[in-house]
Copies of this chain bind each other. A is one copy, B any other.
Amino acid sequence: MVIAVRRIIFFATLFTIWEILYRLNQVYEVRSTTLFPSPIGAVEQLYIGFFETGILTEALSQSLQRIAVGFTLAVIIGALLGIVLGISKIADETLGSLVIALQSVPSIVWLPIAFVLFGVGNTAIIFVVTLGGTWAMTLNMRMGIKNVEPILIRAAKTMGYQGKELVWRVMIPASIPSALTGMRLAWAFGWRALMAAELIGRGGLGRTLMDARDFYNMDLVIAIMVIIAVIGLIVEYLVFNKIEKNVLSRWGLNDNR
């Protein structure tokens, strides 16, 4: 409860400061008045988009489907890749270089490649979203695996664990804190890639965002940002945070100060 209140106060304060800045700017015109968005305006746009025109409802449902699939794939593929890189030296030296080489490649470059591979459509978008999230998961998982206390692996080996089971029962549980960070980042970068990918014009929040930008509806841009942020927060507190609390308290890491 205290936490929730703290959080609400924090966000309410930000909101107010922003609106004040907006109004001051309207009067003194320090910055572009067309482009400076207002948080109240954003709330209005949210209302209109969900309850009047319905464009946000539709765009959101499309984007959610894509992020859900893309994120899931990114986490699975990223985790597998990370495990392989963490375990096998040869893979780390070859495939690892490739991962490092590819991870800086931006979505705008992947997009045309995805089109060539999958045609223009949902598959291409999901491909780009998956790529967007995979590397963060991969690198975090890799480091998680490399950081497992050797004694735990050794102990498990003497109990007959090896190969897949050793990975599954020891290395993965031991890397959960790292994996969690990987998942958080995969989520975030999946969204970013999604926004970039949706520009090609098959709907979704990304397209709406671009259109809103092109026609100076900065309030709607902010409204979409808010939607993404709120979904991020919901997932954070329903999923990631729960897992983290659980893991950290089990491991006795709760009170690190």
Contacts and interface: CB of A to CB of B under 8 A. Distances in A.
Given A135-B185, A256-B148, A35 B112 contact: yes
Interface in A166-213: 177-178, 180-181, 184-185, 187-189, 191-193, 195-196, 199, 206, 209-210, 213
Contacts of A224: 109
Chain A: interface size category: 35 or more
Give how many copies assemble into the complex.
2
Nearest to A233: B101
Given A105-B225, A108-B196, A146 B256 contact: yes
A232 B101 contact: yes
Interface in A197-256: 199, 206, 209-210, 213, 218, 221, 224-225, 228-233, 236, 248, 252-253, 255-256
Interface string A105-123: 1111100100111000000
B107 A192 contact: yes
Interface string A1-37: 0010011001100100000000000000001100110
